[in-house]
Amino acid sequence: MRKILALAACILTTAGMLVSCLENEEIELGSNAYILSFSINDIKTEVPSKTDDGKDTTLVSTVYGDYYTFAIDHVAGEVYNVDSLPKGTDVTRVTVNVTFDAGYAYYYQGEEAKYFSSEDSIDFSSPVRFTVYAADGEGSRNYLVRLNVRQADADSLRWTRMEGNNFHGGRMTAEKLVQLRDHLLVFGEMDGVPTVMGSKLEDDFSYSKKEWPLRGLHEQARVDYASIVAHENAVYLLADGKLYSSIAGVDWTAEAKDRTFTAMLGVADGKLYLSQAGTIVACDPHEWSTTNRVDTLTHDWEVVQQVDERLLPVNPSVVAVPLRTNADIVRTTLIGLPRDAASSHVSIWSKLTTNSTWTYYNPIAGNAQACPQLERLTVIGYDGQLHAFGGASHDGTVAPFEAIYTSVDGGITWWKQSGKIGFPDELKGYNEPFACVVDTAGRIWLQCSDGRLFKSSVGM
């Protein structure tokens, strides 16, 4: 008991000494005046629209602030969002979150200076000047804050139908279009026979007159055409879960013969990614050995991560886009229809070159700008954006090839483009198999199963 009382007395004495010291010591306030972080809250925008029977109505769209990164340039005194907000976003009433090194800030609406509060609704239709004051009241620093909003949609798409392209032999089903080196190859089935046609990519492109059967596949292997990917100097596909490779798309060699895969996910960071028994596995396709003049993959397969395969997309599109904040870092997005037919959301996975694993995007409840579930959903990348299109939507609200949907935040929100960003009128309502690829020159090639081939102008 005496020990406890002695300890208590010691603590009280020490506390008294500290208070005495603090009373006698003058606290020096800092002179730094910096914005350390800046972010916006969700922005709701009312968009005029019409009902199916032509009556005027209003839709409410939401831009999720968490998905927009702001750059802070202390030298130039600028703060701005790296990815522009979608066209039409109402930035006249925006609440923002700002942290300072110390002190406080004023912002200016016109000539009027207002003390900043995170509850203020600020008009960012023009750049807003913030003045940050240091805690000592001496130092200050000015920042010009901009909310960048796309002022127009992407440039118009101009399509050319490739007449006399020598696509022949009837209708092709289960198509896949890829670029291999300087050639365009289309894979599919002609009258039940695995077939490939192709030719050199030129402005007056025309398929070679000869169709080549796929050789080297074991017996009556069922080819998963959606799995076909081209990388570097080879093409890869799955047939009955087995991996095959080819250097021209005609003669195929079995790889990883002791393995059976459930799906081809695609190429990212120079590696092939596939799913296998509840895992994502990867292999470096650059590592080859040559035996009897036959190229063979030799690198060991690495287990990247354990996954619930029900969350992986079916027939995914794989799009690699450099980050706007750092072009040396690439974000690869894996997107497609969900394996769970009861799910109402598109399945999206993402991976940065700086990360070793993939991240699943959990659907946001109430996200009115989610990617629609379209038959034969196809996603391509251009100018740092994702563009999605396809056949009819599962809920019946979107007709085949009705529109292109664009995402500027990596696949979270999608915006229906205006009429100039679309397809030839003859494709509207087309709900049959098709294949699409963006070549290294930036042209979009779209092949229909009935033989029609379209090419877009360079750039979107």
Give 177-216 pLDDT, tens digit per residue: 999 999 999 998 887 788 899 999 888 888 887 778 888 8
pLDDT higher than 90, residue 263: yes
The pLDDT of residue 91: 94
CB atoms within 10 A of CB 395: 9
Confidence tier at 384 by pLDDT (50, 70, 90): confident
Low-confidence winner among 143-157, 216-230, 348-362, 399-413 (lowest mean pLDDT)? 143-157
**Phi and psi dihedrals of 331, rounded to 5?**
-100, 120
Pick the CATH number of 159-456 from 3.30.565.10, 1.10.260.40, 3.20.20.70, 2.120.10.80: 2.120.10.80
CB atoms within 10 A of CB 48: 9
For 59, 134, 259, 262, the CA distances from 300, given in Å and listed in that order, are 52, 57, 12, 18
Confidence tier at 49 by pLDDT (50, 70, 90): low
Confidence tier at 270 by pLDDT (50, 70, 90): confident
Beta-sheet strands, E only, within 260-309:
263-268, 271-276, 279-283, 288-291, 294-297, 302-306
Token pair belonging to 76: 């130039």
Q: How far is CA 171 from the centre of its chain?
A: 32
The pLDDT of residue 169: 60
Confirm or reject CATH 3.30.1330.10 for domain 35-146, answering yes or no: no
The pLDDT of residue 289: 45
DSSP 380-413: EEETTEEEEE-S-BTTSSS-TT---EEESSSSS-
Q: Which residues contact 29 (CB under 8 A, 6 or more apart)?
A: 102, 134, 135, 136, 137
Q: How many CA atoms lie within 13 A of 320 on its CB side?
A: 13
> What average pLDDT does range 214-219 have in this prediction?
78
The pLDDT of residue 151: 65
End-to-end CA distance of the chain: 82
Q: Could you tell me how many residues make up the chain?
A: 460
Distance from C-alpha of 55 to C-alpha of 273, rounded to nearest angstrom: 49
Distance from C-alpha of 386 to C-alpha of 459, rounded to nearest angstrom: 14
Confidence tier at 22 by pLDDT (50, 70, 90): very low
Mean pLDDT (the chain, rounded): 82
SS3 15: helix
% the chain with pLDDT above 90: 37
Domain boundaries, the chain: 35-146, 159-456
Low-confidence winner among 253-267, 277-291, 333-347 (lowest mean pLDDT)? 277-291
% the chain with pLDDT above 70: 83
Distance from C-alpha of 322 to C-alpha of 328, rounded to nearest angstrom: 7
pLDDT higher than 70, residue 70: yes
CB contact at 8 A, 434 and 447: yes
> What average pLDDT does range 54-77 have in this prediction?
81
DSSP 166-231: ---SS-EEEEEEEEETTEEEEEEEETTEEEEEEEE--TT----S--EE-BS--TT--EEEEEEEEE
Taking alpha carbons only, the member of 371, 366, 398 closest to residue 62 is 366
Distance from C-alpha of 185 to C-alpha of 214, rounded to nearest angstrom: 12
Residue 368 identity: A
Q: How many helices (H) and strands (E) does the chain have?
A: 1, 36
pLDDT higher than 50, residue 14: no
For residue 3, what is the DSSP state? H
Distance from C-alpha of 243 to C-alpha of 216, rounded to nearest angstrom: 12
Low-confidence winner among 118-132, 269-283, 377-391 (lowest mean pLDDT)? 377-391
- Residue 434 pairs in a beta bridge with 448
Task: Please state the pTM of the whole predicted model.
Answer: 0.68
Q: Which residues contact 435 (CB under 8 A, 6 or more apart)?
A: 175, 176, 177, 186, 188, 446, 447
The pLDDT of residue 424: 84
Taking alpha carbons only, the member of 146, 128, 130, 122 closest to residue 33 is 130
Distance from C-alpha of 190 to C-alpha of 360, rounded to nearest angstrom: 37
> What average pLDDT does range 163-172 have in this prediction?
77
**Phi and psi dihedrals of 431, rounded to 5?**
-125, 35
